Amino acid sequence: MAPTAPKARRSLRAKATKLKAGLKSNANVDDTGILQATAKDVLSKREKRANKHSSLVKRIEKSTTKPLKRRRPNKKLITTMNTLMDALPDIEALVQGPNNVNTSIKQKSLKSRPGVMKRKDKLEKVEKARFGQNMVHIMGIEQTEMNSNVPTASSKMEAESLPDVESDTPKSTTTAKRFAALRAWAISNMEKHPSFEKTPI
């Protein structure tokens, strides 16, 4: 086949005019050449998505709805205020309380073990004896302090000869002795951990 001469290439302006002629635009162009936005162009992204979803739902949903079944008469619940009031107990019966009913509470979950009361009595006796010994010890200390603080005739004469400034010293010494006795009693009855005891260096 004989070679033919190549065709002249079209210009860009010719290509553009051909494309414009082939496309159909939905936009409205006024006399000034400015595009007039239509309602379809104004829709936001959310509205477009909602429209698309609604069209999809319309396509897939069933055209006929299933009628709801009614309950049978024997399964129908009949509850009114009168029936509820009849079900409640009378106020007089609630106020008076149940008659001839044993009100003692029995703990069924806890099983009684033999010898509990004996152990309890023994523990109470031991605690009472210990408390009595402590009270005797404290009272004995206070009694000795009181005996030591009883003024004799010679001490009265000495106190009268001394000025009034020194009259406050016996009170302070008695309180100090009481606190010392209380501290000694607490230390003697307190359990000490071996780690807190002072070891000789």
Q: What are the pLDDT digits (tens) for 71-109?
A: 666 666 667 788 888 888 777 777 776 665 666 666 666
Query: Is pTM beyond 0.75 here?
Result: no
Q: CA-to-CA distance for 175 and 87, rounded, in angstroms?
A: 73
Query: Is 136 a member of any domain?
Result: yes
Q: Is the pLDDT of residue 30 over 70?
A: no
Which residues constitute the domain of residue 149? Answer: 118-155+170-188
Compute how many other C-beta atoms are within 10 angstroms of the C-beta atom of residue 142.
15
Could you list the beta-strand ranges (E) of 30-177: 35-36
Query: Is 91 a member of any domain?
Result: no
Higher pLDDT, 101 or 124: 124
CB 134 within 8 Å of CB 185: yes
Q: Stretch 165-172: mean pLDDT, rounded?
A: 54
Query: Is 135 a member of any domain?
Result: yes
Query: Is 127 a member of any domain?
Result: yes
Cα angle: 125, vertex 131, 136; to 5 degrees: 125
CB 51 within 8 Å of CB 59: no
Query: Is 29 a member of any domain?
Result: no
Query: Is 139 a member of any domain?
Result: yes
Chain-centre distance for alpha carbon 189: 41
Query: Is 109 a member of any domain?
Result: no
Query: Is 98 a member of any domain?
Result: no
> How many domains, in total, are found in the chain?
1
CB 35 within 8 Å of CB 28: yes
